[in-house]
Structure 1
Amino acid sequence: MSKQMNAHFFFAVKLPDETKEKLKEYMECVSLKLPFTRWVHHEDYHITLAFLGSAPEEKLQKASGLIADSIRNEKTFPLYISRLGVFGKQETPRIFWCGTQQDKHLQDLRLKVYSACQEAGFKLETRPFKPHITMARKWAGTGPFQQSLLDVNSPFKDGHLEFEASEVVLYQTHLDKSPKYESIAIFPLLAE
């Protein structure tokens, strides 16, 4: 694993390219109505399972080994992107996101990845897990953000956008690049 100084790392569920493309098309329309400062590059769409921050090589190796072990028998499963939301102050949110329906498989997978990272010695966020795909950052509207702005036409045919969760990926962040997340290690789930 190649590593830059002060790089940050995280484990995430990778989105299939087709799903990223559909979300990208939708976000191109939404971005005209929602003034956020920075829109995430579609190649960077993912669902974070455990954010590690900066990490020494040996700890990354240990976490990767423990994760490979703990999810060895996990099967692929469908996820449904079905809602839009924001994090931060209601008037000036810092994150705009697409969220998935609650899913036991995703919760279980996250718990295994999170526990493996803790066992490897990482101090992780303790906030409740809210699976989401970050679309944009930092509200830049002239007025306060209104929840009704999210009631734009849904990108989700039949109320949701379905995809198969088939890989957990260890990503490294490159703040000076776009897209900025590099896949360092891939942990495939078992195909049904």
Structure 2
Amino acid sequence: MDRKPHFFFAVSLPEEVKKELSRLCLTIKERLPFQRWVHQDDYHITLAFLGTAQDGKLEKAKKLVVEQLNGQSSFSLHINKLGVFGKKDSPRIFWADTVKEDKLLKLRERVFFSCLEAGFELETRAFKPHITLARKWAGSTPFEEDLLESNNPFEEASLPFQAKEVALYQTHFDRTPKYEKIAAFPLLTE
């Protein structure tokens, strides 16, 4: 079955942060048995998920995002904890969280509303910035919250990085890594 590609705008992560998160995942994989672990090159923070897209609409979104990001500066983010989405005893997503940062929320707002203006129908749930690390709980026993606390490497210190770029990604369902950066929009460095 040939699936149409999906597109999304996201904050790209620096290579050293991707490597550090991948190293972390290797150390906790056995204690947190999820079915599919995300390839390190696919780590990102989604700002707007577009789904399938016609070329004209996608080009309009890119143009509007460029306009909205003009003059926007890079900023610091800090990965500080682990969490899950989904059923309490069988979560579907395992993720890393960032310390709340107003600049990230404003950046997301600019990208999100550009995509709406371009004609995309977007997710209406509240924005919860996160980096997906794994999917679908596969443990032989129900998931328990204390697994996160006992495997939290950020208890002592957060993992800081500079958000320097927004990118447009295309999903390839038949590849690993499955996200291809097809456009990059750098933020100003100070």
| Range class of TM-score, shorter chain | over 0.9
Q: Which runs of 5+ in 2 are unaligned?
A: none
Deviation at 1:30, TM superposition (A): 1.0
- Quote the residue 1:162 is aligned against: 160
State the one-letter code of the partner of 1:115: F
The match for 1:19 among 17, 23, 27 is 17
Q: CA RMSD in A?
A: 1.2
Q: Which runs of 5+ in 1 are unaligned?
A: none
- Quote the residue 1:100 is aligned against: 98
- Quote the residue 2:56 is aligned against: 58
Deviation at 1:151, TM superposition (A): 1.6
Distance 2:151 2:52 in 1: 39
- Quote the residue 1:142 is aligned against: 140
Deviation at 1:32, TM superposition (A): 1.3
TM normalised by structure 2 equals 0.97
- Quote the residue 1:186 is aligned against: 184
The match for 1:77 among 53, 75, 78 is 75
8 Å CA contact 1:30–1:152 kept in 2: the answer is no
8 Å CA contact 2:3–2:173 kept in 1: the answer is no
Secondary structure at 1:126 match in 2: coil
- Quote the residue 1:87 is aligned against: 85
TM normalised by structure 1 equals 0.96
Deviation at 1:157, TM superposition (A): 7.7
Q: 1:89-123: per-residue Cα shift (whole Å, max 9, x none)?
A: 00000000000011000000000000000000000
Count residues with an aligned counterpart: 189
8 Å CA contact 1:90–1:145 kept in 2: the answer is yes
Distance 1:169 1:103 in 2: 19
Q: Identify the range of structure 1 (151-160 vs 126-135) with the bigger mean alpha-carbon deviation.
A: 151-160
8 Å CA contact 1:169–1:187 kept in 2: the answer is yes
Distance 1:91 1:56 in 2: 39
Secondary structure at 1:13 match in 2: strand
